[in-house]
Amino acid sequence: MPSLLHLSPFLFLFLLLRPSTTVSASAASAGDAAAMLAIAAALRPPQSLNWSKSTDPCSWPQVTCSAGRVTAIQVGKRGLSGYLPDEVGDLTALVRLELMANSLSGPLPSLSALSSLQYLFLHDNNFTSIPQNFFSNLHSLVHVTLDHNPLSPWSIQPDLTVASNLANFTATEAGIIGSVPEFFATSFPNLDHLVLSFNSLEGGIPQSFALSQVRFLLLNNQQGGQLSGGINFVANMSRLQQLWLQSNAFSGPLPDFSKLIDLVDLDLRDNQFTGLVPASLTELKSLKVVTLTNNLLQGPVPVFKNPNMTLDVVASTERFCRTDIGDCDPRVNVMLSISKSFDYPILFANNWKGNDPCENWLGITCDGHGNIVVVNFQKMDLNGTISPYFQLLPSLQKLILSGNNLNGTIPATLTNLTYLRLLDVSDNMLWGKVPSFNQNVQVITTGNKNIGKDPHPGQNPMDGSGGTDGNGSKKSSSIGVIVGSVLGVICLSFIIGLLIFCYCKRNNYQIGRAHKPNNIVVHPQHSGSDAEMLKISLASATGSHTSSGPSDLQVGEPGNMVISIQILRHVTNNFNEENILGRGGFGTVYKGELHDGTKIAVKRMEGGPMESKGLSEFKSEISVLTRVRHRHLVSLLGYCLDANEKILVYEYMPGGTLSDHLFNWMKEGWKPLEWKRRLSIGLDVARGVEYLHSLAHQSFIHRDLKPSNILLGDDMKAKVADFGLVRLAPEGKYSVETRLAGTFGYLAPEYAVTGRVTTKADVFSFGVILMELITGRKALDNSQPEENVHLVTWFRRMHINKDTFLKAIDPSIDIDDDTLASISTVAELACYCCAREPQQRPDMGRAVNVLSSLAEVWKPSADLEDAYAIDLDMTLPQALKRWQDLENSTQMYNTISSTPYIASLENSQSSIPTRPAGFADSFTSADGR
């Protein structure tokens, strides 16, 4: 007997509250009888329901009457295929209306006359719209489910607040737009379940939710818009048991969880949370499931106290200081303490990697002994206050915080920094007196209109209001004093400006924007190894600082990603044939190796005039890869456009293509891919494509998904490549018309016939890839008999029964019962993905959910994750990655896969769980009521 905790809370409540179906002895009133006959005609009940044997609806199965009035209609999961007519509004005594899990469609009618209605279950139908003020006058509502209906976009209106006893409101994937209404936190003292997953909600969560008594709050996977901002309100939601906020754009630090002593299931993955994992979370004894993966969490890897808890937080996806359990370097701890005063900015989380802040951390410069001597946070859009923890950097010489949004005062503790020579806090919103620094310290405070002023009682130091005298009245001043003050300021400014100019001239300190080169050239004074040449060129392009001394500090803007043809010839040995990694329809890919062993992949497009078709693919690839950034999409590092040369430079993927590992493993002398590895690869690809479709700031369609465009790292993690055919899906349009492109065998039928493409075309291609992973056969295999050439057609036939399906599985896969069950689930997913009609295919978020529930979390035996990748621990990639993150810090963050609230596929006959046993899987009883 499972515990109540492992039952769906919705199902438990439903069974607890649901009355048994009874039939009143009295006949229905004439009005109710007429309404029920009209309803029966519209719902199209099957013969098995036996509603046609009597004209008295009180004698019908699943209908309850009391004193001649219809009080309950309970026909969930009964094969209804019609619509809900307006006559339902005539059943004014109705208490319970259950129509879930049918095929009802059309608009929902007004129910405003049903003031006695308490239970409204409409989920899992095909209703297309909901009336304005749908909930007006429904004073008695207690439970509402609208999940999984393709409703036209609508927002939840305040008319719902009349239902003061509302306990459960679930509307997953129901077309809801707008913001999360504040009245859910303030108007329903008994609200227990609030589930609004897979809609298009956006904006922040009202802070008033801190007062809510909700136990189950699911707001995950908002599409189109995304929920954002911080989640500090959670700290006071002491009754929470389940909290799902995954796959949104929440940011900032995690809150204090010490009051949430009943919290069991927490999913925060695929957001932009920064800062440390708080001890108040790791010490919660109630936790059973915690998912934090794919955020920007910092500090040490968290260690949770509950040994029986299921934890999903992969160190390599976060910004932890190390990948194993242990303390951070003391310098890292200091910098994180400083970052806390700025509310742990995303910019820092993306650019502070590893356990040594002297290894190319953004804004940090060290001396040769590992001491931090310069902190330059100029124009980084920082908010918050100046941290007193800067005093824990004893060797600090220059602290530059200018051009931000900092408020508060300058900490007096900064005067303890013995070696400090420059403090630049100009152009912020600081106030208060400036501490007395040593005369050797240059302090720049211009651009802070309230600096030197202390706020008086009732005065906001940010409002710019002037000072007052001791009596609170405005200080008087004469015209002469004003004129004298102005002239004095002008003279003083000229003198200070002249002194600063001389100081900067002597110390080569560049203020303002650095020179932005039109192209990248090798500096004559640095001619030498190919590695150094490329590093210097990329450093020039990124505006990154390569000098070891703080006196050469440059404050400038990042540049572009152009790499000169001379450098690329050098690192590829003049495009030597021995360095060819592969050939494609648009060019040849070469391996480039720098002097220090760092490898890159150089894709040289086919030559010809610039008007050739290759130019459009070249521009498309640059356009896409400079706008999207994801760990399962191959990273673009730079490009070259020189005369007829069109060259793209990528991170190097030493594992080759999925195609080679599936179809050429014997020829290459490799071992065949085991099933768990294939499953992991499929999940990686699904996450990358899902990001392209719905989690990036725009929706992209790849159009050429196939195994040869899936690259593998040394640890066999997969990344989607080749974006030359990608198209941007226009906002508000269901499909985009384009010339036919791609590879036969992977083309969706509607795309091949009409030339119009949607994201569902990529879903079809992904389904074909899943079939290839299962069978080891190519999408088109001309060596097979004619009826078996096309993999999709053959796979569908083989999938019909267990015996033929076993013959379709790649014989190189070792099969046991667990493996066969996993393969069968993936096969079912593959068939849905390759459905003939695009609307019958799932979106990639659902595919991710199915695969992630099957894939085993595994890690390579050694730290190989990015051993050859261009964007981690080497000087060149660090410089370039710094530029990319700084340039795109407001638009390119990793938000990877999604976890649906209910995991069934479209038109699926079987449920695929998203969680182990329970937690908000559905809100229906076993018989569908």
- pLDDT (mean) for 476-481: 40
DSSP 676-723: HHHHHHHHHHHHHHHIIIIISSS-EE-S---GGGEEE-TT--EEE---
Give the residue, 748 or 192, on which the prediction is more confident. 192
At 615, the pLDDT band (50, 70, 90 cuts) reads low
At 895, the pLDDT band (50, 70, 90 cuts) reads very low
- pLDDT (mean) for 326-342: 94
pLDDT at 17: 44
- Which of 305-314, 402-411, 908-917 is most confident? 402-411
Torsion angle, CA of 631/632/638/643, rounded to 10 degrees?
A: -170
CB under 8 Å to 499, separation ≥6 — which residues? none
How does pLDDT run across 61-104, given as a tens digit for each residue? Answer: 999 999 999 999 999 999 999 999 999 999 999 999 999 999 99
Amino acid at 135: F
- Options 3.40.50.2000, 3.30.420.40, 3.40.640.10, 3.80.10.10; CATH for 1-173+901-929 is 3.80.10.10
Give the residue, 600 or 868, on which the prediction is more confident. 600
Give the residue, 927 or 68, on which the prediction is more confident. 68
The radius of gyration of the chain from alpha carbons, rounded to an integer in Å, stands at 32
Domains 524-651 and 657-869 share a fold: no
* Domain boundary assignment for the chain: 1-173+901-929, 524-651, 657-869
pLDDT at 10: 44
Q: Sign of the C-alpha dihedral, residues 401, 403, 407, 412?
A: positive
At 269, the pLDDT band (50, 70, 90 cuts) reads very high
How does pLDDT run across 853-877, given as a tens digit for each residue? Answer: 888 543 333 333 332 333 333 334 4
Whole-structure pTM value: 0.52
- pLDDT (mean) for 300-308: 89
Q: What's the mean per-residue pLDDT of the chain?
A: 78
Helices (H), 707-776: 749-754, 759-775
- pLDDT (mean) for 122-135: 95
pLDDT at 488: 52
pLDDT at 546: 31
Q: Is the pLDDT of residue 358 over 70?
A: yes
Lowest mean pLDDT segment, chosen from 276-290, 306-320, 795-809: 306-320
**β 636-642/645-651 pair status:** antiparallel
pLDDT at 728: 62
Lowest mean pLDDT segment, chosen from 96-105, 259-268, 627-636: 627-636
Query: What is the token pair recorded at 217?
Result: 């709050």
At 616, the pLDDT band (50, 70, 90 cuts) reads low
Please confirm, yes or no, whether 660 is among the known catalytic residues. no
How does pLDDT run across 376-402, given as a tens digit for each residue? Answer: 999 999 999 999 999 999 999 999 999
Superfamily of domain 657-869 in CATH is: Transferase(Phosphotransferase) domain 1 (1.10.510.10)
At 189, the pLDDT band (50, 70, 90 cuts) reads very high
pLDDT at 779: 93
What percentage of the chain reaches a pLDDT higher than 90?
53
Amino acid at 454: D
Query: What are the C-alpha distances in Å from 518 to residues 46, 65, 521, 525?
Result: 73, 81, 9, 20
**Distance between CA atoms of residues 241 and 237, nearest Å:** 10
How does pLDDT run across 879-894, given as a tens digit for each residue? Answer: 444 434 543 443 333 3
- Options 2.60.120.580, 3.30.200.20, 3.40.50.300, 3.90.180.10; CATH for 524-651 is 3.30.200.20
At 422, the pLDDT band (50, 70, 90 cuts) reads very high
Q: Which of 154, 151, 119 is nearest to 133 (CA)?
A: 154
**Where is 33: in which H helix or E strand?**
helix 30-43
At 755, the pLDDT band (50, 70, 90 cuts) reads confident
**Distance between CA atoms of residues 304 and 21, nearest Å:** 47
746 touches 705 (CB < 8 A): yes
758 touches 735 (CB < 8 A): yes
At 694, the pLDDT band (50, 70, 90 cuts) reads confident
At 663, the pLDDT band (50, 70, 90 cuts) reads very high
The catalytic position among 192, 267, 424, 704 is 704
Q: Is the pLDDT of residue 431 over 70?
A: yes
pLDDT at 919: 29
pLDDT at 519: 30
Q: Is the pLDDT of residue 338 over 80?
A: yes
374: left (phi over 0), alpha (psi -120 to 50) or beta: beta
How does pLDDT run across 703-747, given as a tens digit for each residue? Answer: 889 999 999 988 899 999 877 665 666 544 444 444 445 678 888
pLDDT at 504: 43
Query: What is the token pair recorded at 772?
Result: 């290839």
At 748, the pLDDT band (50, 70, 90 cuts) reads confident
How does pLDDT run across 502-551, given as a tens digit for each residue? Answer: 444 444 433 333 333 223 222 323 333 333 334 333 333 333 333 333 33
100 touches 124 (CB < 8 A): yes
Q: Which of 197, 155, 160, 207 is nearest to 179 (CA)?
A: 155
How does pLDDT run across 240-264, given as a tens digit for each residue? Answer: 999 999 999 999 999 999 999 999 9
